[in-house]
């Protein structure tokens, strides 16, 4: 259930600005954000504030996507050295074309922290639940860095453990994870997540649980609104039964829109019932 970031970021505008943002996260929506860019920026700024980013910081952004978070943190907090790592080579290429220093590597590669010898902060914005086979080796790599950097992560935890779930609940959780590319080893309750960080050697650990509507509910409402905006605008422009290139384009994008509907339904039904969205800050 990967939603096409082009659809998420697109605005119904005949002449979009050349520098189109390419965010790919679930966003923070209780900030009053209405567009996808605003929601994503709000989540990134929340993480930046949680780890107290400052101009003295050198940032390693792990799972940096197409580089939007690195650009935002460096402009908003004036962080002085900014390096990104991402698994996807195409996303790395986009980030590099924007002038960013980005390497293609998995967060779980033991060499990942060698990419940023000066790092004082390691951030993972809305991505560490994807790290395969699990995010634990990533925690260990951060902890082993000689600079003892602060760690800041936005992530997802289970509301209750597997043993407290019924068969159907566990089945739904597993289906959702399979559709979203989340390894089952990354399904942890807040307590288990805390243990993972402690076992990796972190001692100052703060895990803040956000309200269901802040991320999951807000994202679901946004994707429904976003799709409707396109449908309404096209109807206005083309007429209800039009068969013009733009309408045909919307139809060919149908798979992407279907993902919108699926993900909104998943966030509302499974996401908010089974998962909590958390902001994690830890240091050795
Ligand atoms: C939901 S997107 C978030 C991207 C970006 N942080 C943002 O906020 O726009 C998840 C990102 O994690 C990356 N990713 C997934 N598994 C990874 C891994 N093992 N190592 C590094 N990056 C990974 C994906 O390529 C994707 O860019």
Q: Which pLDDT tens digit goes with each residue over 108-135?
A: 999 999 989 999 999 999 999 999 999 9
Which positions ≥6 away from 64 have C-beta within 8 Å? 70, 84, 85, 86, 91, 95, 100, 102, 125
Cα dihedral 234, 238, 241, 246, rounded to 10, equals -60
Q: Is residue 175 part of a domain?
A: no
pLDDT of residue 15: 46
132-141 CB burial, b ≥16 within 10 A, e <16: eebbbbbbbb
Q: How confident is the model at residue 258 (pLDDT cuts 50, 70, 90)?
A: low
Give residue 201's domain range: 15-161+182-211+275-283
Ligand 1 touching residue 68 (CB < 6 A): yes
Q: How far apart are CA 7 and CA 254, in angstroms?
A: 11
Q: How many helices (H) and strands (E) does the chain have?
A: 11, 7
Q: Structurally, how many domains does the chain consist of?
A: 1
Ligand 1 touching residue 73 (CB < 6 A): no
Q: Is residue 27 part of a domain?
A: yes
Q: Is residue 87 part of a domain?
A: yes
Phi/psi zone of residue 221: left (φ > 0), alpha (ψ -120 to 50 degrees), beta? Answer: alpha
Q: CB of 181 within 8 A of CB of 258? A: no
Q: How confident is the model at residue 98 (pLDDT cuts 50, 70, 90)?
A: very high
Q: 3-state class of 98 per DSSP?
A: coil
Return the minimum-mean-pLDDT range out of 76-80, 206-210, 261-265.
261-265
Among 86, 89, 131, 223, the mutation site with the greatest number of ligand 1 atoms within 8 A of its Cβ is: 86
Q: Is residue 254 part of a domain?
A: no
Ligand 1 touching residue 106 (CB < 6 A): yes
What is the CATH classification number for the domain harbouring 197?
Answer: 3.40.50.150
Q: Which pLDDT tens digit goes with each residue over 131-183?
A: 999 999 999 999 999 999 999 999 999 999 999 999 988 998 888 888 888 99
The predicted model scores a pTM of 0.91
Q: Is residue 260 part of a domain?
A: no
pLDDT of residue 16: 45
Q: CB of 127 within 8 A of CB of 154? A: no
Q: How confident is the model at residue 88 (pLDDT cuts 50, 70, 90)?
A: very high
């Amino acid at each position: 259930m990967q939603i096409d970031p082009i659809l998420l970021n697109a605005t119904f505008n005949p002449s979009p600005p050349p520098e189109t943002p390419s965010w790919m996260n679930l966003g923070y929506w209780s900030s009053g954000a209405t567009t996808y860019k605003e929601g994503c920026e709000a989540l990134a700024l929340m993480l930046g504030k949680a780890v107290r980013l400052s101009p003295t910081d050198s940032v390693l952004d792990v799972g940096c996507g197409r580089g939007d978070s690195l650009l935002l943190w460096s402009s908003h907090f004036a962080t002085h050295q900014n390096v990104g790592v991402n698994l996807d080579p195409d996303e790395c290429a986009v980030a590099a074309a924007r002038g960013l220093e980005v390497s293609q590597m998995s967060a779980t590669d033991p060499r990942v922290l060698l990419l940023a010898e000066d790092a004082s902060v390691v951030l993972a914005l809305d991505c560490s639940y994807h790290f395969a086979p699990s995010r634990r080796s990533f925690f260990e790599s951060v902890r082993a860095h000689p600079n003892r950097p602060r760690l800041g992560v936005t992530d997802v935890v289970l509301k209750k453990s597997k043993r407290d779930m019924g068969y159907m609940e566990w089945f739904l959780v597993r289906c959702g994870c399979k559709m979203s590319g989340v390894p089952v080893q990354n399904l942890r309750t807040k307590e288990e997540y805390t243990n993972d960080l402690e076992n990796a050697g972190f001692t100052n650990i703060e895990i803040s649980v956000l309200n269901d509507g802040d991320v999951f509910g807000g994202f679901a409402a946004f994707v429904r609104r976003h799709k409707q905006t396109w449908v309404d605008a096209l109807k206005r422009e083309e007429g209800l039964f039009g068969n013009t290139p733009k309408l045909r384009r919307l139809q060919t994008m149908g798979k992407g829109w279907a993902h919108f509907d699926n993900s909104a339904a998943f966030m509302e039904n499974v996401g908010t019932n089974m998962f909590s969205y958390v902001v994690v800050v830890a240091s050795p």
